[in-house]
Structure formats: structure tokens, C-alpha cells
Structure 1
Amino acid sequence: MKKFVDPVKITGLNEPLFDSKKASFKVQEYFKKGFSLYAEGNRELAISLLSEPKEINATHLGLSKGASKGNGPSEEILDGVFQKITSEEFLRNSFMARPTLIPLFVPNFGADRFSDLTVNIISKELAEFTEKVCNELDIPVYLTGLCKYYDVSDGEWKQLIAKLPMGPDLKPILLVPAGLVTDKYKFSVEKFVNSVIFAYLKDEHLNRRSSLITYKEIDGVLTPVKPTNKMLKEHEILMKYKERGMFKAFALDKSLEYPHLLEQYISFIEDEKYQ
């Protein structure tokens, strides 16, 4: 089963050898910086900040095997999504407070890529954690360059030089605390669309007695029947969205149109069942 680094788990992590407080702060500051730059009109700087991270194979997490494919979201995709996000204060604040919402809306940016992004941001803290573990276990480490890490002091990406162990292939290994690893993210655009957005739209269609409403005789009374998810998918998504990542584009547009739906989904995810 594939594993991913979940940034939501950083704050509550109880691992003496890992600076979870600093790592959590860096994740929050990174996204705050990106959205602030975009909101101020510094598009090029914002896109550069958001698109800089690359896949780190040293953790041996995620989906890819072998070398990085380097095929994350394009500048055009990031630009279009963040234009919409920063145009609405509620969405902008929601994203800054909850970075895990990003894979919910950005095409070609799922759990694997968000895990890579998180690892990049906190790679310095992970490297320090790795060195501490190796020192405790008397595992030899070697000074090596690995990737770039996010420096909150100036909001820039810096080259990471760290003491890391080497695998049998003589490539560096970056350890990740088990408490940060998950099988899948709780946030899912499919769940958001099917369980929240479609549920709301079904009532809307029923109230308007739209063309998607069918009728069924129940106890001699002709009763209106709400459209199915399949009907809504055809009518609301497939007929209106032709671009790649249509589910995510639809979910973002509906979040702009009905902000309370995103609030509802966030509340559902962040209740005690999520922990």
C-alpha cells in the first residue's frame, strides 16, 4: 500500500526527535506567503514559490518508482486555480488555514504530489530527525546535498546540505516519523462533490422542479424524485466542463458560488471522526 506524508498530522505529533512545532509553522508560513504574493499581484513570484518543489525519492513514499518524473501541475493550472481562490476572501483564508484543501482543487495535484511538497517544505526538519535517529542507533551518516527546503526567515527555497545515511544503492535516505504517514488523505474531491455538493443540488433541482426531476407514483400520489448522482454528473459536470480535472474545476466553482458547502465539508472532515 502506498504511503504519504500528511501535513495535518504534524501539529499533534508527539515525537521527541522531530521538531513538529517548527515544521508545522513552516507549512503554514509557506502557504501564507504564496497566497499573500498572489493576492498582492506578484503572480510570477507566487507561481515560482509554489512550483519549485520536486519529488524526493529519499523517503521512499508516494507512487513513483525510480527517478522523479517532474510532471506536476503547470504554471497555467496553478495560475487559473489561484486566481479563483484569491478572488474570494473566505476561500483564501480557508486555504491558508488548511493547506490540505489544495489537492482538492488543483488538477494533477493529488496525495502523491502534495506529500512531495510537504516533504520539500520540512526537509530540513526531517533531515535533522534522521541524523538524530542515526546517532542513537550508531548508523553512519554522510554529508550530502539532497533537495531544497523552505526558509521562513526570508521566504526562499534553500539548498539542503545534511548528514544522512546511505542505502545499498549509495543514495541518501530521509527518514519520516511514522506519525506523519497516512494511507490516504481524508480530503477528497469525489467525496466533496458526491456527499455535499450533489446533495445540495438535488434539493435545488427538486425545489425548482427542474427537467432533471422525475416522478414516481407512491400510494396513488405522483411524487417528484430527486436526480441521481449519475444524472447530476452528466448534467452539471460532463456537459459543462471539457478541461482536464473537470471534477476539481466544478468543485472550486461551486465553492465560490456556495461557500457554505465547503464550510460544511471542512466541518465534517475536522470533527472527532477525522482524528
Structure 2
Amino acid sequence: MGVEPDRSGDNVHELGDHRPARARGGEMRVTEYFNIGRSQREVDFVDVDVDSDTLSFIDPRALSAMPTPWAHNCVSRIQGYFQVILDALMDGDTRRAKYLLSTLREPNETHLGYSKGRPRGSGVGEKIAAEIYEALSASSAVRTGMLQDLEEAALFVPGIGPDRVSDLAVNIIRGQLIDFTQEACEYYEIPMVDSVPSGPVWDSRRKRWESYYTQLPLVYGTPLILVPKSIVRRKLQFDPQDYYTHHILPFLEQEELASGGSLVHLLRSGPRVYRRDLKLKYGVGKETNTRITVENPEILENYRRLKDQHPQPAMDHDWLPGGETEEEFDWDALLDKVLNTPVGKAHADIYHRNVEALLSALFYPHLTSPRREFKIHGGMKRIDIAYVNESRRGFFYWLSQHYPAPFVFIECKNYGKELKNPEFDQLVGRFSPSRGKFGIIAHRGFGDKDKILRSCRNSAYDDHGWMVVLDDNDLRALVEERIELGVSEFSLIREQFEALVN
């Protein structure tokens, strides 16, 4: 990887974006700018406003909860980078710490966070790096070795909030986000431009910053980096006010009650400590979080454990930028694209894409991060669509608690004939204990449903895996349920699955 100067704020407009600019004033989403023909519900990335910034943040904790190699790579880089900084600060290596922070800047390419306006110069980046260095070097949470992960800095370090954590994460995993952007552009047919500066990319092996030229889409002449919608949140899971209110204060309350101190009031209902008194005695804010946690590290240990057990779910589409409400979204139009696809091999790809758009909208936020033509066995086999099972409630959550289902696989068959054993065997051949053993076959409805169920039940009885088969009428039923209830309960999928195991 050759080291090149970072020119991301210079003459990028000369690199080839000839799309005419429009009058500012209204929002212009990525899907609109590139005429993708899909909405936020139908795409895998955050459909940001390309003229401004969207009040959402990348949460490193969301990455930790995703069972994918891409997410694991991101987590490894963030943890590795932050540990290198912590080591430099603990060792008093000021020069090293400042170098590690020197390239950090507001990542305008993602259009996430608090409004930053148009891309700004290197002076802003230098100021941000200096502020973060001063905040970390002055924190006793760092000096005592209590701090472990980047997101924990938001609990204890003044000046580091969700925007700074998100900006830091973007800078550290910029290379992985570029990979995601290129894959998304290829699938959604978004044009990219050659020789666009990558910006600073963290080399985890050499433990240094590098940059290179790459392919990226441009909006109004400036680079765009897309972000998976499954890893953004309105607020971070590690929240300083949540930590103080629900963990620090209850701990202090129990300490006061145990000691019988002056803050204890004897009431008819029993002894009580008022939180206003605790705040006056111990203080509020991150300094208090730090002081009490340094003295009682078990508070943070319990907090970490709780957050691991109950990860924050992905944002609903109503909260995502450009995400239409249930009342606004035209589910029938999305379904019609599937039902009106001509049957036959010549239209297999468009059927595949239409099914993916529909299921991605229906399944989110239970199933996220759809991967088309998902490669396994070193690329020798491919799965039409693979979803990450991040469900926190309902059928897919229950499934993940009782059966191996970290991923859910979809095979699309645009056949004008009934399914045969090879189609079932194909899906079963994609299963494994680590990837998961649950999948769905989408087909056009030819054949005997009872016979199809028998084939799926035989596979389940032989412990080969669990398959549900959805035809056009089944997809229509799923959409009708969504329109009627406003949420997807996946009743039909649950009933078919119960028929396999009962």
C-alpha cells in the first residue's frame, strides 16, 4: 500500500462527478441523488442527506454484536488502535500519542453526526486531535488503566461524546467502510470514480496511518462513504447519563444505606436515601463517574456484562434518515415488483433482487446486513442472500436462542415448475453449525405444498437443517400482516417452522 498525501479537501471536484447540482433547501438522499429506485427500507446503508449531516452515530458496541467477519475486523481495528493510544499515554510517550491522533478529523464523507457543514481544512482536524489528546491524557480513567474500549471513553472522559466516538470509529475503520461502500455501489449500481484519495486509513499490522487512491462515489464533487444502517444509533449504548443514573447512583445509595450515614432518612416504609442528596454529596457528571468507578471497578464490570447480555437493537426505519413511516410506505408496490416478475431463468436476477428488496424491508431490524451472492467454501459455493440475525424479540430471536441461526439464508427460485430434491439439497448444503442451519426458499408457487412440507420435514428429522418455503401467496400474506399490524410478527414463517419440529 503506497503512502500518498491526503487530498480529500482539495481538487476532488475534478475527479469526474458531472451530475448537475440542484438548488439547496430540501433534503437530497443518496437513493435520490443516484436514482437507485429504492428507499431507506430497501437498502443496506444509511440513506443520508448528501447536503447536510444526519443526527446518527456509529456505535462500536453495535459492531461487537454482529457475528460477521467484516464486523469482527472493524472491532479488532478499533480495539487495537485504542489500545496503542492507551499504551502510549500510560508510557508517557507524548510524541507517539500525538502522532496516533494527528490524522483524526471530522469525517464529512459519511454525513453522520452533528451538522459540520461542508468539508473543512486541516486546521480543524489538528484542533480535534489536540482536544482529544488533552482529554485522554488528563483522564484518571486512562491513567489508572480502567479504560479498555473506545466507547467507554464516552462514560468518563469530558469532551468525548457520541459524536467524537463515532468520528474516531469512522477514521479507524475507514478502510472497511470503503470496502462496504464499493460492494454497495456494485450491487445498487451507484457509479464510482477512480483515483479518489482514501483519507487516513489505519494499518493495524504496522500500527500506523496510511492513505491510497481508490474508487468511491462522488456527490457534488466530494467523496461519499456509505455506512451500514445496522451499526448506527441515535445515542451510544455506553451512555454517561445512563451509567450515572442507573449504576453509579444505585451503588452509592446502597453504600449509604449499609453505612447508616447522615443521608439515610428513616421513614415508615423503611430507610431511604434521596438522590438529590447523593448528587450534592458526590457530584454529577463524568468526573463523578470516573472517581466512583476507579474506587469501585465492579460497577463498570457489571455495566459491561449487562450491555453484552442486552445489546441495543438496530434503529427502526421510522428513526432512520429518509425512512418512511408505516403509513407512508407503499408495501403493495414493493410486493408487486416480486409478483409481476416474469417466471423463468431469463428473469432470475431481477426476481432475486426484487425478493431481496422486499425481504430486507420486512425483516429489518430483526435480520440485517443482507449479503447478495454470499460466498462460502472459499468461493466454491454461493448463497443468494445471507442475513445477520440480530433480532432482540419475536420469532427470529426465539429461533436464535434454540437453534443455530446466527445467519438466515435465502435461496431464490424463479422456476415455472415445482421444486425438486436438488433445490432442497442446495440450501441444506449451505448450512453449518457456525453459519446456521435455518433458511428460506422463495419460489413462484408451482407444485404441491404438502409434498414440499414433507421434503422440509425430512431434512429436519435427519438433522440436516430447517427450511421454510415461501411462494408468491406466502409473501403476500407476510405483507398483509405487516400492513394490518404495522409490525412483522412472521406468523406464517413461525407456523411453517412449527410444522417441521412438531
TM-score tier by shorter-chain length is 0.7 to 0.9
Name the CA distance, whole Å, in 2 between partners of 1:54 and 1:189: 23
Structure 1 or 2, whichever has the larger Rg, is: 2
Name the CA distance, whole Å, in 1 between partners of 2:198 and 2:180: 15
- 1:70-81 superposed matches below 5 A: 72=128, 73-81=131-139
The TM-score normalised by the length of structure 2 is 0.46
Tell me the equivalent position of 1:128.
179
Helix, strand or coil at the partner of 1:270: helix
Q: What letter is aligned with 1:270?
A: D
Tell me the equivalent position of 2:228.
177
- Larger mean CA deviation between 41-50 and 193-202 belongs to 41-50
Tell me the equivalent position of 1:194.
245
Indicate conservation of the 8 Å contact 2:59/2:237, yes or no.
no
Q: Alpha-carbon deviation of 1:179?
A: 1.9
Q: What letter is aligned with 1:4?
A: F
Name the CA distance, whole Å, in 1 between partners of 2:65 and 2:155: 22
Tell me the equivalent position of 1:225.
272
Q: Alpha-carbon deviation of 1:11?
A: 4.3
- 1:154 paired with 2:200, answer no
Helix, strand or coil at the partner of 2:242: helix
Indicate conservation of the 8 Å contact 2:81/2:204, yes or no.
yes
Q: What letter is aligned with 1:134?
A: C
Indicate conservation of the 8 Å contact 1:51/1:75, yes or no.
no
- Larger mean CA deviation between 60-69 and 247-256 belongs to 60-69
Q: What letter is aligned with 1:80?
A: A
Tell me the equivalent position of 1:56.
107
- 1:43 paired with 2:94, answer yes
Tell me the equivalent position of 2:474.
none
Name the CA distance, whole Å, in 2 between partners of 1:110 and 1:271: 23
Name the CA distance, whole Å, in 1 between partners of 2:311 and 2:71: 22
- 1:3 paired with 2:56, answer yes
- 1:22 paired with 2:73, answer yes
Indicate conservation of the 8 Å contact 1:105/1:249, yes or no.
yes
Q: Alpha-carbon deviation of 1:273?
A: 5.3
- 1:108-123 superposed matches below 5 A: 108-123=159-174
Tell me which of the two structures has the higher relative contact order, counting C-alpha pairs closer than 8 angstroms and 6 or more residues apart. 1
Indicate conservation of the 8 Å contact 1:11/1:24, yes or no.
yes
Name the CA distance, whole Å, in 2 between partners of 1:100 and 1:202: 26
Q: What letter is aligned with 1:7?
A: P
Indicate conservation of the 8 Å contact 2:101/2:133, yes or no.
no
Indicate conservation of the 8 Å contact 1:150/1:158, yes or no.
yes
Indicate conservation of the 8 Å contact 1:2/1:62, yes or no.
yes
Name the CA distance, whole Å, in 2 between partners of 1:269 and 1:10: 13
- Larger mean CA deviation between 261-270 and 113-122 belongs to 261-270
Instruction: Structure 2: state its 5+ residue gaps.
Output: 1-53, 314-502
Cα displacement string for residues 90-137 of structure 1 (whole angstroms, at most 9, x for unaligned residues): x25xx1xx3321111111111111111111111111112212222333
Residue 207 to residue 77, structure 1, CA distance change in 2 (3 Å): same
Number of aligned residues = 252
Residue 136 to residue 202, structure 1, CA distance change in 2 (3 Å): closer
Q: Alpha-carbon deviation of 1:213?
A: 2.4
Residue of 275, 286, 307 corresponding to 1:269: 307
Tell me the equivalent position of 1:252.
290
Name the CA distance, whole Å, in 2 between partners of 1:213 and 1:51: 50
Tell me the equivalent position of 2:331.
none
Residue 253 to residue 52, structure 1, CA distance change in 2 (3 Å): farther
Q: Alpha-carbon deviation of 1:6?
A: 1.6
Name the CA distance, whole Å, in 1 between partners of 2:301 and 2:291: 14
Identity of aligned residues (%): 27
Indicate conservation of the 8 Å contact 2:61/2:237, yes or no.
no
- 1:67-106 superposed matches below 5 A: 67=118, 72=128, 73-81=131-139, 83-88=140-145, 91-92=146-147, 95=148, 98-106=149-157
The TM-score normalised by the length of structure 1 is 0.81
Indicate conservation of the 8 Å contact 1:2/1:61, yes or no.
yes
